[in-house]
Amino acid sequence: MLRLKAFRPNHDKILKIQLHPTHPWLVTADATDRVSVWNWEHRQVSPLNNFNMHRSPHLLQHLPCPSFDPSNIAGGFAFQIIYELKAGGVDERRLVGAKLEKLAEGESEPRGKPTEAMRGGSVKQVNFYDDDVRFWQLWRNRGAAAEAPSAVNNVTSTFTSPAPSTKGRHFLVICCENKAIFLDLVTMRGRDVPKQELDNRSLLCMEFLCRSTAGEGPLVAFGGSDGVIRVLSMISWKLVRRYTGGHKGAIACLMTFMASSGEALLVSGGSDGLLVLWSADHVHDSRELVPKLSLKAHDGGVVAVELSRVIGGAPQLITIGADKTLAIWDTMSFKVLCRHKFALHNLYSSC
């Protein structure tokens, strides 16, 4: 069991956090849009004077790593930082590194402004992505779906081999308002995809899709400020699909899960208060997908959605709204099982 001691002293509040499911890596984004990757196996002595995790005491409750126990926080050591960048602005080290790489490969100077020189804007989400993350996501979704008695013949356990673009690579993916940053932690080479490649709409959240056609490779969906979900191929780095007609406002959260029928689904929550379900089975070539189901979930907007595994039953969805309520949904009837009202000033965590 990992006994977490402390982070390196930090003067800025940590807003986003994510653990890698198998490697000892943790990524954080703070209030200044600085993104840091930590290794929790290599520790160094550090005082706790400026340790700011107490500002969000519920911060560590949603981490995916099974060996991580937040209750063991004590004091005395800090994680070793292995990578850091200013994702919200222009990171000069990345800019210089990208220029040197192009020169070493014999490429000419680009005529326009390089994507690394574009300001990222506010960091909305940080995630790792590699074969282990794909397997973890698939295992979580299929495990939850297989609990239902009706799912015995519908849910399979096959795992497709990784696409050439991700095999043996470990990506750090940063979703910023103005661009998405894909950094390979093995080669330390990056790929910036500006919002101009995604219909010039601000990027507010992201989710990796489990299934794709052979030529598209890994797919990542971005929720936009205009209520449209845009899907990017990590092979061609081009927009390959849109989910339209579901939301009338900005999309705040995305999540994939598997129904007891074995169908892969994508669920989105928006500022319009709607919870929208879409098909995530990309066995067809349609570039414009419409909703399967739309539900009024919360007044003031949906701010978070999570999957809950139910022993002996179909998985459930948990949504949190700006109306300070938490709702639990049955994924077979898509009816609300219960709804809780909280008398808290700020119910949901910023991460």
Question: Domain holding 196: CATH number?
Answer: 2.130.10.10
Query: What's at 176, amino acid-wise?
Result: C
- Are 166 and 178 in the same domain? yes
State the pTM of this model.
0.81
Using pLDDT thresholds of 50, 70 and 90, give the confidence band for residue 172.
very high
Query: What pLDDT, on a 0 to 100 scale, did the predictor assign at position 52?
Result: 37
Range with the poorest average pLDDT among 104-118, 161-175, 318-332: 104-118
| Euclidean distance between CA atoms 168 and 185, whole angstroms | 11
Residue 299: pLDDT over 80: yes
| Euclidean distance between CA atoms 310 and 147, whole angstroms | 7
Domain count, the chain: 2
| Euclidean distance between CA atoms 209 and 207, whole angstroms | 6
Residue 282's CB is within 10 A of a number of other CB atoms, namely 19
Domain boundary among 119, 135, 157: 119
Query: What pLDDT, on a 0 to 100 scale, did the predictor assign at position 350?
Result: 47
Cα 133 to chain centroid distance, Å, stands at 11
| Euclidean distance between CA atoms 239 and 220, whole angstroms | 10
Residue 219: inside a domain, yes or no?
A: yes
Exposure string (b/e) for 164-180, b if CB count within 10 Å is 16 or more?
eebeebbbbbbbbbbbb
Query: What pLDDT, on a 0 to 100 scale, did the predictor assign at position 314?
Result: 87
Average pLDDT over residues 85-97: 77
| Euclidean distance between CA atoms 205 and 184, whole angstroms | 20
Q: How many CA atoms lie within 13 A of 178 on its CB side?
A: 13
Domain boundary among 98, 119, 140: 119
Residue 247: pLDDT over 60: yes
Using pLDDT thresholds of 50, 70 and 90, give the confidence band for residue 313.
confident
- Are 107 and 134 in the same domain? no
Task: Quote the domain boundaries for residue 248.
Answer: 123-341
Average pLDDT over residues 208-218: 72
- Are 199 and 295 in the same domain? yes
Residue 72: pLDDT over 50: no
- Are 214 and 99 in the same domain? no
Of 194, 172, 174, 175, which is closest to residue 184 (Cα–Cα)?
Answer: 172
